[in-house]
């Protein structure tokens, strides 16, 4: 494991131990055990679109970089045969415990997503990856090729991911944009807390990589995917530690400045893209 991956692995081991222990506003495991879902509107819509409205029942699904696997639980409850893949042994152990409490069966595989095991080759109808996946990946081509390899011919990649414009923003007020729009250069960050609790007693050093939308799509095409759907979203179900809201309709948005041609500060600005949905077929 190279130094950058080791830093990131240590970080996600810490988060896997902290998240869902009752001191964050995102991982409510008691609610999940009681039957709730943490899957957002874009993820639900993406799976509906990818399956033609039939849902995931009976499909073999790989949840790539699953962390605690809350969406794995939701898909398993919907009848999918789910394999959760992550490089954090702690995350997968907690997912297995959660799956037992939820009375669903989920297979787990501990692996670097850039080099998935040969045993998974052509095993899945869908590969599912969501929210905060690609900024940890130094080599998009390796990631796309690895994920493509585990999908059956005609199977699909379903991704709902942070928009590159969102990843540029550290804080909205004051506005701090400390991350490039793309380029893939390694950037080292040090800090405390987590996206689920900015005040958490967690200290970390991470290495992250900026990828713009063109780079992501192009890497997918090079890996043999045919793009079938790409949508950008200007709203999000949750704040992710930095998005203002929720607004009156329950969604969080980032609006900068004024939406008035006259600069009227009482008129809200137009929302920025926060997420994107990508659906692609292995050809």
Which CATH number covers residue 38?
A: 3.40.50.150
Note the pLDDT of residue 112: 98
* Structural domains counted in the chain: 1
Tell whether the model's pLDDT for residue 25 goes beyond 80. Answer: no
Question: Residue 239 — very low, low, confident or very high, per pLDDT cuts 50/70/90?
Answer: confident
- Lowest-confidence region among 145-154, 191-200, 264-273: 191-200
Other CB atoms within 10 Å distance of the CB of residue 63: 30
Nearest in space to 62 (alpha carbons), one of 122, 114, 12: 122
Question: Residue 142 — very low, low, confident or very high, per pLDDT cuts 50/70/90?
Answer: very high
Note the pLDDT of residue 78: 98
Angle at 171 between CA 168 and CA 173, to 5 degrees: 130
In whole angstroms, give the CA distance from residue 208 to residue 210.
7
Question: Residue 197 — very low, low, confident or very high, per pLDDT cuts 50/70/90?
Answer: confident
The answer to whether the CB of 255 falls within 8 A of the CB of 268 is: yes
Q: What residues have CB less than 8 Å from 243, skipping those under 6 apart?
A: 166, 172, 236, 252, 253, 254, 274
Half-sphere exposure of 52 (CA within 13 A, CB side): 2
Strand partners, 203: 192
Note the pLDDT of residue 48: 98
Tell whether the model's pLDDT for residue 175 goes beyond 80. Answer: yes
- The helix/strand/coil state of 280 is strand
Q: What is the mean pLDDT of the chain?
A: 95
Give the end-to-end CA distance of the chain in Å, rounded to a whole number: 32
pLDDT tens digits, one per residue of 29-79: 999 999 999 999 999 999 999 999 999 999 999 999 999 999 999 999 999
Other CB atoms within 10 Å distance of the CB of residue 137: 23
- The helix/strand/coil state of 227 is strand
Residues spanned by the domain of 8: 3-282
pLDDT tens digits, one per residue of 83-98: 999 999 999 999 999 9
């Amino acid at each position: 494991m190279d130094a950058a991956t080791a830093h990131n692995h240590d970080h996600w081991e810490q988060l896997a131990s902290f998240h869902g222990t009752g001191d964050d506003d995102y991982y409510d495991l008691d609610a999940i055990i009681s039957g709730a879902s943490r899957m957002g509107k874009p993820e639900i819509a993406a799976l509906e679109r990818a399956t033609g409205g039939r849902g995931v029942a009976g499909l073999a699904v790989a949840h790539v970089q699953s962390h605690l696997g809350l969406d794995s639980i939701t898909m398993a409850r919907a009848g999918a045969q789910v394999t959760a893949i992550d490089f954090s042994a702690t995350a997968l152990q907690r997912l297995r415990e959660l799956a037992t409490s939820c009375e669903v069966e989920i297979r787990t595989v501990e692996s670097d997503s850039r080099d998935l095991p040969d045993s998974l080759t052509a095993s899945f109808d869908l590969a599912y990856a969501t929210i905060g996946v690609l900024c940890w990946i130094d080599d998009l081509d390796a990631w796309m090729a690895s994920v493509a390899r585990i999908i059956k011919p005609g199977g699909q990649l379903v991704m709902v991911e942070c928009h590159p414009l969102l990843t540029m923003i550290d804080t909205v007020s004051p506005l701090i944009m400390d991350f490039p729009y793309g380029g893939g250069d390694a950037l080292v960050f040090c800090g405390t807390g987590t996206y689920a609790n900015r005040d958490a007693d967690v200290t970390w050093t991470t290495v992250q990589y900026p990828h713009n939308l063109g780079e992501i799509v192009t890497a997918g095409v090079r890996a043999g995917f045919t793009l079938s759907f790409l949508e950008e979203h200007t709203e999000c179900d949750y704040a992710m530690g930095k998005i203002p809201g929720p607004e009156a309709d329950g969604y969080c948005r980032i609006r900068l400045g004024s939406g008035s041609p006259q600069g009227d500060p009482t008129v809200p600005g137009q929302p920025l893209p926060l997420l994107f949905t990508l659906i692609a077929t292995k050809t």
